[in-house]
């Protein structure tokens, strides 16, 4: 393992010292923040809700709502994804859809990035980590958002929710939502976007019982010239349709003893045309089907002992012109006893998985936490996870890509330790050191510059070492600063010209964002991410990038809840792309008006 860059340890220690010695903010800060809600930027999509989280790298092709891949701690797009009410969402065709969800972020509580044992305790898992989304409580109100941007872009979205009944016994809430967006010339002149969707949610809360029932559907069409590593000389168009039904029933308190059952049904249709020959384009169609059922809970056995348990079933099916017809199933079981005494807590157990091809595996899970002070905690964890290759990695063949039917399931072994400050509204901080070893890691590789197609390749074992520091602090009553830095190094035995995902990663990634309410009715948010890639020849001339965003908000006051916003994306007009040979969209300004009502 190579040592981190000089100054990393000092930077992390400074963050920790600042947090330890900080003075809590006054209650007035809490009141002001509650009254001045942060409005969505250009979108209320799930991906937009976590793209500014410093622990997540959202690698975009065209834009956040065009095609975006989730990366956590340097993972490839296939190793991270969404966790919805205790279920890790997978896609059998391709993990490029892991950030997609046909319902808005406003249906859920704020997203949480989970790694290590935190992820195992909350959900079935993704190998590197996941973004947890839990449905928020019913309420009365909603919002309408209308926006315009450069190059003729425009969007409209809305949410309306009300209480069908409300009494001392409980509440029942019903909500409806919809969105529409158009954008033009995002990264190449003919890469446009049109998307539309909507749905409804029914929520109930009665004493210790609660349930949520959500139906959403969406459709988008976008230009895909240069996406997925395909030669940008050829234009391309992609259409994606997504329909999902989610139901969950809970009993108890998730922080104490609880039981939960979650069911999911989802269907997608993906159609892609590549115009090598305009008269006879390369054309593929794929339909994917996903269904799952999970039951989990936490039982308090006595004052010291508890037991977390989970049983889950997942089905995936795909049929398509270039993938064939396939089905597979997966059964997961978890037993994780835990012991708590004083300031020390220890958990150790096993997660077993059985696959429809007959493979069965036992995956150890363990962790401990020591409450050093009322707010400071030291922690360590060891976890393991399995991942099945997508059917694109296994069977796809196109002018730009070639799958590999011989790929095996990957197995990741992860260890992490660190320090964290228990979050409060005034501050939060953490420092983590982690290691991940992935057997049969899969990536799309070009051996030389002249290689015609990206090939799905078993890289053997790839080891990832890293340090992650992040923290937030309120400076005064109206200013919050958040910063995060990640250092990564990967050990492997490959020397290639180009890598799409696993071996093309940011060795250094620094994110800083500022939220400043500089007047009673005015708010400024600024976010910057700086990243440095290394490792492959294809990145030699395009290794450093800076992504900046700015938004100004005015709380008009009349009518109550009206907010006018203006912003700029790609503030520095940096052409650096998350992926090789794909430029970022040019700098663009936008304006919007939102009305939140209760």
162's enclosing H/E stretch is: strand 154-167
Evaluate if residue 129 carries a pLDDT over 90.
yes
pLDDT, position 5:
39
pLDDT, position 538:
77
**Is the sign of the CA dihedral 584, 587, 589, 594 positive or negative?**
positive
pLDDT, position 16:
43
Q: Which residues pair with residue 367 across a beta bridge?
A: 347, 381
Evaluate if residue 22 carries a pLDDT over 80.
no
Token pair, residue 389, equals 């290759």
pLDDT, position 34:
31
User: What CA–CA distance (Å, rounded) separates 552 from 266?
Assistant: 37
pLDDT, position 42:
67
Q: What percent of the chain has pLDDT over 90?
A: 73
Checking DSSP bridges between strand 454-458 and strand 129-133, what pairing results, if any? unpaired
In terms of Cα–Cα distance, which of 12, 20, 18, 17 is closest to 376? 20
Evaluate if residue 441 carries a pLDDT over 60.
yes
pLDDT, position 394:
96
User: What CA–CA distance (Å, rounded) separates 86 from 99?
Assistant: 16
- Burial, 560: exposed, middle or buried (Cβ in 10 Å; 0-12, 13-18, 19+)? exposed
pLDDT, position 535:
64
Question: Mapping DSSP to helix (H, G, I), strand (E, B) and coil, where does residue 115 land?
Answer: coil
**What's the mean per-residue pLDDT of the chain?**
89
Confidence of residue 292 (pLDDT cuts 50, 70, 90): very high
Confidence of residue 17 (pLDDT cuts 50, 70, 90): very low
pLDDT digits (tens, 9 = 90+) for 167-192: 988 999 999 999 999 999 988 999 99
393's enclosing H/E stretch is: helix 391-395
Residue 271, Cα to own-chain centre: how many angstroms? 24
Checking DSSP bridges between strand 80-84 and strand 129-133, what pairing results, if any? parallel
In the numeric block, the tokens 């099945």 are attached to 388
Token pair, residue 15, equals 């963050």
Evaluate if residue 24 carries a pLDDT over 70.
no
Evaluate if residue 3 carries a pLDDT over 50.
no
Evaluate if residue 495 carries a pLDDT over 90.
no
pLDDT, average across residues 404-424: 94
User: What CA–CA distance (Å, rounded) separates 542 from 234?
Assistant: 22
Confidence of residue 78 (pLDDT cuts 50, 70, 90): very high
Token pair, residue 241, equals 């349709």
Q: Which residues contact 122 (CB under 8 A, 6 or more apart)?
A: 83, 86, 114, 132
pLDDT, position 216:
98
Token pair, residue 33, equals 């923040």
Confidence of residue 543 (pLDDT cuts 50, 70, 90): confident
Q: What percent of the chain has pLDDT over 70?
A: 93
**334-338, 397-401, 494-498: which has the minimum mean pLDDT?**
494-498
User: What CA–CA distance (Å, rounded) separates 42 from 312?
Assistant: 36
User: What CA–CA distance (Å, rounded) separates 243 from 56?
Assistant: 25
Helices (H), 132-181: none
316 in Cβ contact with 288 (< 8 Å): yes
In the numeric block, the tokens 């500014």 are attached to 52
Question: Mapping DSSP to helix (H, G, I), strand (E, B) and coil, where does residue 355 land?
Answer: strand
Count the Cβ atoms, other than its own, within 10 Å of residue 199: 21
pLDDT, average across residues 377-404: 96
CATH 2.40.170.20 holds for 8-597: yes
pLDDT digits (tens, 9 = 90+) for 295-338: 999 999 999 999 999 999 999 999 988 899 999 999 999 999 99
Confidence of residue 10 (pLDDT cuts 50, 70, 90): very low
pLDDT, average across residues 567-571: 92
User: What CA–CA distance (Å, rounded) separates 134 from 97?
Assistant: 19
Domain definitions of the chain by residue range: 8-597
pLDDT, position 25:
34
């Amino acid at each position: 393992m190579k040592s981190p860059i000089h100054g990393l340890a000092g930077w992390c220690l400074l963050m920790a010292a600042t947090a330890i010695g900080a003075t809590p903010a006054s209650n007035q800060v809490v009141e002001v923040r509650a009254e001045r809600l942060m409005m969505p930027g250009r979108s209320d999509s799930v991906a937009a809700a976590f793209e500014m989280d410093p622990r997540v790298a959202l690698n975009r092709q065209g834009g956040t709502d065009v095609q975006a891949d989730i990366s956590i701690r340097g993972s490839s797009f296939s190793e991270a994804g969404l966790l919805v009410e205790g279920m890790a969402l997978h896609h059998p065709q391709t993990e490029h859809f892991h950030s997609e969800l046909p319902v808005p972020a406003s249906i859920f509580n704020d997203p949480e990035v989970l790694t290590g044992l935190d992820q195992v305790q909350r959900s079935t898992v993704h190998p590197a980590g996941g973004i947890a989304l839990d449905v928020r409580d019913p309420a009365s109100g909603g919002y309408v958002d209308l926006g315009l941007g450069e190059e003729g872009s425009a969007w409209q979205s809305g949410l309306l929710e009300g209480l069908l009944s409300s009494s001392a016994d409980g509440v029942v809430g019903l909500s409806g939502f919809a969105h529409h967006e158009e954008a033009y010339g995002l990264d190449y002149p003919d890469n446009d976007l049109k998307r539309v969707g909507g749905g409804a949610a029914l929520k109930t809360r009665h004493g210790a019982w609660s349930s949520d029932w959500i139906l959403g559907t969406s459709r988008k069409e976008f230009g895909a010239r240069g996406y997925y590593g395909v030669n940008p000389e050829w234009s391309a168009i992609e259409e994606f349709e997504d329909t999902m039904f989610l139901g969950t029933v809970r009993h108890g308190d998730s922080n104490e003893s609880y039981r939960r059952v979650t069911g999911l049904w989802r269907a997608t249709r993906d159609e892609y045309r590549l115009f090598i020959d305009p008269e006879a384009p390369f054309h593929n169609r794929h339909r994917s089907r996903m269904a799952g059922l999970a039951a989990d809970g936490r039982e308090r056995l006595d004052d010291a002992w508890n037991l977390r348990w989970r049983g889950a079933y997942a089905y995936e099916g795909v049929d398509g012109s270039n993938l064939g017809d396939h089905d597979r199933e997966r059964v997961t079981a978890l037993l994780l006893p835990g012991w708590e005494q004083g300031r020390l807590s220890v958990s150790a157990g096993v997660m077993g998985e059985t696959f429809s091809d007959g493979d069965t595996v036992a995956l150890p899970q363990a962790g401990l936490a020591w409450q050093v002070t009322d707010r400071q905690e030291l922690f360590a964890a060891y976890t393991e996870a399995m991942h099945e290759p997508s059917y694109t990695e296994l069977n796809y063949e196109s002018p730009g890509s070639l799958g590999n039917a011989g790929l095996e399931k990957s197995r990741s072994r992860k260890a992490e330790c660190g320090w964290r400050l228990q979050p409060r509204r005034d501050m939060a901080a953490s420092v983590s050191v982690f290691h991940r070893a992935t057997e049969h890691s899969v990536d799309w590789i070009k051996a030389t510059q002249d290689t015609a197609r990206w090939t799905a390749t078993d890289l053997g074992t790839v080891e990832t070492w890293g340090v992650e520091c992040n923290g937030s602090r309120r400076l005064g009553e109206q200013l919050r600063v958040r910063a995060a830095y990640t250092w990564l190094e990967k050990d492997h035995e490959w020397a290639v010209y180009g890598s799409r995902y696993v071996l093309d990663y940011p060795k250094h990634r620094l994110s800083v964002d500022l939220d400043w309410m500089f007047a009673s009715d005015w708010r400024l948010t600024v976010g910057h991410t700086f990243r440095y890639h290394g490792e492959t020849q294809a990145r030699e001339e395009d290794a450093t990038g800076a992504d900046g965003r700015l938004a100004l908000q005015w709380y008009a006051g009349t009518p109550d809840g009206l907010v006018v916003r203006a912003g700029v994306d790609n503030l520095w007009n940096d052409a650096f792309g998350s992926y090789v040979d794909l430029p970022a969209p040019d700098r663009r300004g936008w304006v919007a008006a939102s009305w939140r009502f209760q």
